[in-house]
Structure 1
Amino acid sequence: MHLRIILADDHPFVLLGYRAMLATQAGVTIAGEAHTPRALIELLQRVPCDVLVTDLFMPDADGAPEDDLALMRRIRRDWPQLRVVVVTTLTDPSVLRAVAADDAVSALGKAESMDTLWQAIEASANGARYLGRSIADPLACPQNDERTSLPAVRLSWRQTEVVKRLVRGQSIAEIAEALGCHRRTVSRQKRAAMTKLGVTNNPGLFSRLYACGIVEIDSHI
């Protein structure tokens, strides 16, 4: 088996660990590395690979955090045949359920061993899906329906349109063009929606949108 693998993580020591593990595996080529979502997209556009190993949440070059689920959605949309292994520290059940809902995406926690990572890569290369224990265990636990315990949230039409487009993977600039307004207006609507939903970051935003029933989990990825 010959595998071309792209690695993406914003922490150099994480990539160092991946490289060291993959160096022990026969028939593996590291096709490229990326440290930001933008660099990862550009790399995927230029370099063919069989398996992508990526963090779920990376800040972009300007320090702004990329919408993690939107990044995954774009990758799955533009490279539908690509097998993906997500390695994450995130523990939010709604985010993990969104990731695990896609059969082409394997997932494990960063605290899991390099042997586990290789198992996930092998499974992905063979067309299977692998969930590490730190992902599978929380998903296997019975859960209360989050929607029944959350207060009703009323977003304006514009706020709802903005957050739904964010979930579909559109950038602030793309949303502004589609809605015929300035990017600052879109950013302002997003911040207002986040305030109403009681969240302060993108992972929390996507999780709460699902929990409140504003978007369905199948639309995340």
Structure 2
Amino acid sequence: MNLRVILADDHPFVLLGVRAALEMHAGIAIVGEAATPTSLIKLLQSTPCDVLVTDLTMPEESDTVEDGLDLVRRIRSGWPLLRIVVMTALTNTAILRVMVSDGVVSLLSKIETMDELWQAVEAGGKGEVYVGRSIIEALTHSQDEACDLSPGSCLSRRQAEVIAMSVRGHSISEIAVALGCHRRTVSRQKREAMAKLGVTNDPGLFAYIRAHGVYES
């Protein structure tokens, strides 16, 4: 019996590469592909599968991006028997630790080899969880970091204020007015703060903040 696999990623070349790599192995049937969270949910509702291989942050057609952690929780709630393999480019160890901590979701960095992807899918077919080598190394290394994982510990007071207002929905212009500084200054402070936190975009920032449960009051 073939292992039924659904692939989800907003980059067509990633989907193409993952499909090609998995179809090299006997016993694999790619039964569907999705490029947005909404299309993925619809596909899961109509197409039985055993393993889902998905990116963590995918934009909708409107360019809005759903919190990747929320998406995984929704899928786990709706399809509790489905095995999930998350492939992500995120490097923030706090988010990675949240994903790994419950021991249910397999997790790979997008820099892993296709052989590791196959191992993760194969493990999922057996009801097991697989964590990629790069993820393990990142989490091990983070234990020795001098900077605490909570956002405020690494940030200056002004950087923390900018991040707090940003995740509450304020625009760069609104933050600049509130803090009495130039938009370019706010943009630079936000960029530097995100670099300290190890995230590269707003979806990654929101996932990081949600993982810590701060700045959301």
TM-score (norm. length: structure 1)? 0.72
> How has the CA–CA distance of structure 1 residues 11 and 191 changed in structure 2, closer, same or farther, with 3 Å as cutoff?
same
The answer to whether the 8 A contact 2:68-2:207 is kept is no
- Residue 31 of structure 2 aligns to a residue whose secondary structure is strand
Task: Structure 1: state its 5+ residue gaps.
Answer: 160-187, 216-221
Partner of 2:43: 43
Partner amino acid for 2:134?
S
Match of 1:191 among 169, 172, 175: 169
The answer to whether the 8 A contact 1:9-1:54 is kept is yes
Q: Which runs of structure 1 show a deviation greater than 2 angstroms over 4 or more consecutive aligned residues?
A: 143-148, 150-154, 192-196, 208-215
> How has the CA–CA distance of structure 1 residues 12 and 209 changed in structure 2, closer, same or farther, with 3 Å as cutoff?
closer
The answer to whether the 8 A contact 2:5-2:53 is kept is yes
Residue 203 of structure 1 and its aligned partner are, at CA, apart by 2.0
Provide the identity percentage.
46
> How has the CA–CA distance of structure 1 residues 50 and 212 changed in structure 2, closer, same or farther, with 3 Å as cutoff?
closer
Partner of 1:16: 16
Residue 205 of structure 1 and its aligned partner are, at CA, apart by 2.1
Q: Deviations over 1:78-113 (max 9, x none)?
A: 111110001111111111111112322111111211
The answer to whether the 8 A contact 1:84-1:124 is kept is yes
Work out the CA distance in 2 between the residues paired with 1:38 and 1:138: 31
- Residue 103 of structure 2 aligns to a residue whose secondary structure is coil
Work out the CA distance in 2 between the residues paired with 1:119 and 1:189: 37
Partner of 2:202: 201
Q: Deviations over 1:163-195 (max 9, x none)?
A: xxxxxxxxxxxxxxxxxxxxxxxxx99404996
TM-score (norm. length: structure 2)? 0.74
Say if 2:30 is the partner of 1:52.
Answer: no
- How many residues are matched? 184
- Where relative contact order (Cα < 8 A, 6+ residues apart) is larger, the structure is 1
Partner amino acid for 1:28?
I
Match of 2:149 among 146, 149, 152: 146
Greater Rg, structure 1 or structure 2? 2
CA RMSD of aligned residues (A): 3.0
